[in-house]
Amino acid sequence: MNERELLEWYLAAGVDAICGDMPGCLLPEKPAAAVAENDVRQRPAITDLAQMSLKACKNARDICEAATTLEELRAAVETFDGCSLKLTSNKTVFGGGNPAARIMIVGEAPGADEDRIGEPFVGRSGHLLDKMLAAIGLNRESVYITNVLPWRPPGNRTPTDAEVAVCLPFLRRQIELIKPEFLLILGGSAANSLLDNEEPISRLRGKWLEYKTLKGDAIALLASFHPAYLLRNPAQKAKVWSDLLRLSQKMHNN
Ligand code: URA
């Protein structure tokens, strides 16, 4: 295995944190004389990895600046290879619905069904989302739906900070191109990514907040619980119902 293959293997395995300048080894140390010149433990693989990650973020930002339409951005995301999640997923899930919608809904990341089909929110969470939207007179044709990440994290694990950092420029550009009047953010992970904070969703939900685009435009943002959380905790549905009413009222008043 050469250096590049080793780094790619690390990325594919989800390694993204710098723990030191040298990779650690849990095996007993070999006597110094027995350490071959090309022993991988002598290489600064983790530092290189962090640099690759920074480069990928910069690359994503440059690509986004160059994309002037939604279709250009979709093509750019589909050919982007700076996020290791792409290696473990089947489909790129870019976004779907009505690009001229007043409301844009943002979830965390595709799940198994979305990864199979290539569309956002088509599994159990998506069915509940459809019911939530119907409750305030909305449907897939009246909203645009996307996720912070266009690729499914293996086993639906929470995305790492590095994965979010590299994919966030694509979401930010998508918001700029859709120009929604309202953002409905589903779940704490997506809310924290877009608002760049660590507040728990229990404190963020149900109140109007503001999202600032890179150009400085302000968009009204409402966060609420994720449908997947509601499937596990149906008692929380009443809170989401009140959040949806708040959204509906503002849509009608504006
Ligand atoms: N959960 C999400 O956050 N997004 C999807 O597209 C599906 C499930």
pLDDT at 20 over 60: no
Q: Is 108 in the pocket of ligand 1 (CB under 6 A)?
A: yes
pLDDT at 81 over 90: yes
Q: Name the nearest CA neighbour of 175 among 194, 192, 150, 197.
A: 194
Percent of the chain with pLDDT over 70: 84
- Only one residue has tokens 């309202």, namely 182
Q: What is the mean pLDDT of the chain?
A: 89
Give the sheet arrangement for strand 95-97, strand by strand: 95-97, 143-147, 103-107, 182-186, 218-224, 208-212
**Predicted pLDDT of residue 95:** 97
Pocket test for ligand 1, best of 128, 133, 147, 193 (most atoms within 8 A of CB): 147
pLDDT tier for residue 51 given thresholds of 50, 70 and 90: confident
pLDDT at 156 over 80: yes
**Predicted pLDDT of residue 179:** 97
**Predicted pLDDT of residue 62:** 86
pLDDT tier for residue 19 given thresholds of 50, 70 and 90: low
Write down the H helix ranges in the chain: 3-12, 45-66, 70-79, 85-88, 112-117, 124-135, 161-178, 188-195, 201-204, 227-232, 237-253
**Predicted pLDDT of residue 41:** 59
- Only one residue has tokens 């090309």, namely 38
Question: For residue 218, how far is its CA from the centre of ligand 1 (angstroms)?
Answer: 25
List the chain domain ranges: 57-253
Pocket test for ligand 1, best of 114, 140, 158 (most atoms within 8 A of CB): 114
Structure token digits, residue 60? 């994503």
**Predicted pLDDT of residue 39:** 62
Question: For residue 164, how far is its CA from the centre of ligand 1 (angstroms)?
Answer: 15
Higher pLDDT, 71 or 18: 71
Multiple choice CATH, 57-253, 3.30.2130.10, 3.40.50.2000, 3.40.470.10, 3.30.870.10:
3.40.470.10
Percent of the chain with pLDDT over 90: 73
For the ranges 1-10, 111-120, 227-236, the lowest mean pLDDT is seen at 1-10
What tens digit of pLDDT does each residue of 85-132 get? 999 999 999 999 999 999 999 999 999 999 999 999 999 999 999 999
pLDDT at 37 over 80: no
The closest residue, in CA terms, to atom 7 on ligand 1 is 121
Mean pLDDT across the stretch 200-229? 97
Backbone angles phi, psi at 100, to 5 degrees: -100, 10
pLDDT at 27 over 60: no
**Predicted pLDDT of residue 209:** 98
Burial 13-48 (b: 16+ CB within 10 A, else e): ebbbeeeeeebeeeeeeeeeeeeeeeeeeeeebbee
Structure token digits, residue 90? 């089947």
Q: Name the nearest CA neighbour of 221 among 253, 252, 190.
A: 190
